[in-house]
Structure 1
Amino acid sequence: MTTAQTLLKVEGLKKHYPIHGGIWGRRVGEVRAVDDVSFSVRTGETLGIVGESGCGKSTTGRAILRLEEPTAGDIRFEGTSLLSLGVEAMRRMRRELQMVFQDPFASLNPRKTAGAIIEEPLRVHGIGDANERKQQVKELLQVVGLDSYHAERYPHQFSGGQRQRIGIARALAVRPKLIVADEPVSALDVSIQSQVLNLLEDLQESFDLTYLFIAHDLSVVRHISDRVGVMYLGRMVELADRDELYNNPIHPYTQALLSAVPVPDPDAKRERIILKGDVPSPRNPPAGCAFHTRCPHVMDICRKVRPEFTDQGGGHFAACHLTG
């Protein structure tokens, strides 16, 4: 990346869900879905966030947009703290921040046509009159690779890939600066995934977009991202430029994830790192390093002291005692 301007800065983000039990429904615990996550996103870049299911990556994306209200931390967009904004101010800010959801069918209203779905954010934000909005809808459909007559069809009349294109068009309607893409291709056929990824890359250049791209497929993330962050049990454990992270992973969890990525060369040899045990419950995470229960290099300090998420050199961040 050539630009160094920070568009989004997340500091100490936490999202805990209370657990209630007993006859009186008292609070008996909490699920720490996101537990002290910090990172920044530069203007024009794509930051990928990866990790196993349940690691908190989707909750992180939703908390940034305040679709889930954070428990603690700060989220700054162009220097403005999003958590300080009232309801009306946050509604206006959503013109700059949009989301593409994982399930393209569940995220579209089945009772509305594609045109009405794409037009809705324009109406909500008072952009243009009726004729101008309809013209913009036609243009947006063409931008995402659909024909203008598709505006009259309903979501069930489209394929999965086409529905995701409608979701992307809806996100683009208000010309946002940042799009949080929450596993936007995981529900699609492999043959369609590459088409949607290429579309996202083309749109990024045409609309000057910045992406926070959330996924569990490391191959997909490597294709589209400039930098990659790895999450485990609600925490960021490693963050680096794409090639640096894939060629020189520091954290044992990242090393294990990358060892599982299929290699297209049948003659290539790669040592597979098999992690023992299961991911601990976010209701009762382990003391010290959250990964120590499965780490092949665990030390005594790992069981007691949580490692700091620090720069190991050249913008390569990691939270691991092995680097200390």
Structure 2
Amino acid sequence: MRAEPLLEVNQLKKYYAIDQGLFKPKKMIKAVEDVSFTVYQGETVSLVGESGCGKSTTGRSILRLNDITSGEIRFKGTEISTLGDRELRTLRRKMQMVFQDPYASLNPKKSIRQILTEPLRVHGLFSPKERVEKAIDILKIVGLSEYHLDRYPYEFSGGQRQRIGIARALILQPELIVADEPVSALDLSVQSQVINLLLRLQKDFQLTYLFISHDLGVVRHISDRVGVMYLGRMVEMAKTADIFQAPKHPYTQALLSAVPKKHPDESKERIILQGDLPSPANPPTGCAFHPRCPQKMSVCQVTTPPLRHLGNGQYTACHLYAES
């Protein structure tokens, strides 16, 4: 029996207005366009795609770090896209974020003691002494110690800083963590340590992850389901095994063909996409992928394909799978 939905995103849109000059109308950048998906309690859903596809904007919009243009975001059945600042502050105890850059995400003027106790103070939790005790406990959980409490971010390596960022997100005991490229800025040897830490924390604290990454190897290791985004839209969503073994959308197939071979004898055909990623300020008509798609049809140039269910929890937005 499947767990209850923790997060439900329905037709999420996020547009940015760009000035073109004094007498010209503003141009709209469609960073996220009609994205819908569900995240169930205890699972890890990953969003993947090229840089600029809208996956990070989607994550930030879900936590209301960006104001959304339209759509619905439900957390445990409660609509949160229209909540005010006071209600959002209460909600954010249950929804936290781990940022991509461990150097920029920590205030260099604050000690680790201040960084970790600040969320507890803002939410009015515990006494000052208890906050420090909680900070020490969470440091130990992420692999650091009480010794690090009064040091500053510049005294730590990138991997240690990311552990502190994870500790800051974890200290409020959230249910959902949005991890935005949490290992992309780290050395390869440190990446595996942080990924294993995230997996252990998920098991110990019953966490749910929305994991945003461009590293398909990491995604395959950590995810239960994967959503593939292209130019602001979700083009495929499926269980991790189905995505990697039987991708349906031509864009997903091209992405996976770029993953290095596991063995020299492995046979793999590299799919080279022609052309550049179109601008979200001037997206193509119809299917946004059609200018680069090796399997495009005439209908692809005029009609945007809906996200269709192909069975077994696999969805794809492609006219190749149109109902006959």
TM-score range, shorter chain: over 0.9
What's the CA shift for 1:4? Answer: 2.9
Partner of 1:13: 12
Distance 2:183 2:290 in 1: 32
2:115 to 114, 117, 132: 117
State the SS of the aligned residue for 1:293.
helix
Matches within 5 A, 1:295-306: 295-306=293-304
| 1:197 aligned onto 2:191 | no
Superposed CA offset, 1:232-268 (max 9, x none) = 0000000000001110100000000000001121221
What's the CA shift for 1:86? Answer: 1.3
Superposed CA offset, 1:4-61 (max 9, x none) = 310000000000000113236x642111000110000000000010000000000000
Partner of 2:50: 52
What's the CA shift for 1:115? Answer: 1.6
Matches within 5 A, 1:67-146: 67-146=65-144
Kept in 2: contact 1:111–1:154 (CA 8 A): yes
| 1:163 aligned onto 2:161 | yes
Distance 1:221 1:238 in 2: 15
Distance 2:233 2:30 in 1: 10
Distance 2:131 2:258 in 1: 47
Which amino acid in 2 is paired with 1:4? A
Kept in 2: contact 1:99–1:181 (CA 8 A): yes
Distance 2:14 2:204 in 1: 34
Distance 2:279 2:32 in 1: 12
| 1:265 aligned onto 2:263 | yes
Superposed CA offset, 1:55-82 (max 9, x none) = 0000000000010000010000001011
Gaps of at least 5 residues in structure 2 are none
Superposed CA offset, 1:107-149 (max 9, x none) = 0000001121111111110110010000000000000000111
Instruction: Judge which range, 299-308 or 81-90, deviates more.
Output: 81-90
Partner of 1:279: 277
State the SS of the aligned residue for 1:66.
coil
| 1:314 aligned onto 2:312 | yes
Matches within 5 A, 1:238-257: 238-257=236-255
State the SS of the aligned residue for 1:22.
coil
| 1:32 aligned onto 2:37 | no
Distance 2:22 2:8 in 1: 42
State the SS of the aligned residue for 1:163.
helix
Kept in 2: contact 1:18–1:27 (CA 8 A): no
Kept in 2: contact 1:227–1:239 (CA 8 A): yes
2:151 to 138, 149, 153: 153
Distance 2:2 2:104 in 1: 36
Which amino acid in 2 is paired with 1:306? T
Partner of 1:3: 2
Distance 1:131 1:28 in 2: 52
Q: Percent identity?
A: 60
State the SS of the aligned residue for 1:98.
strand
Tell me which stretches of 4 or more aligned residues in structure 1 moved more than 3 Å: none
Which amino acid in 2 is paired with 1:10? V
Distance 1:154 1:4 in 2: 40
Distance 1:237 1:58 in 2: 16
Gaps of at least 5 residues in structure 1 are none
Partner of 1:288: 286
Cα RMSD over matched residues? 0.9
Which amino acid in 2 is paired with 1:160? G
Distance 1:214 1:97 in 2: 15
Which amino acid in 1 is paired with 2:297? M
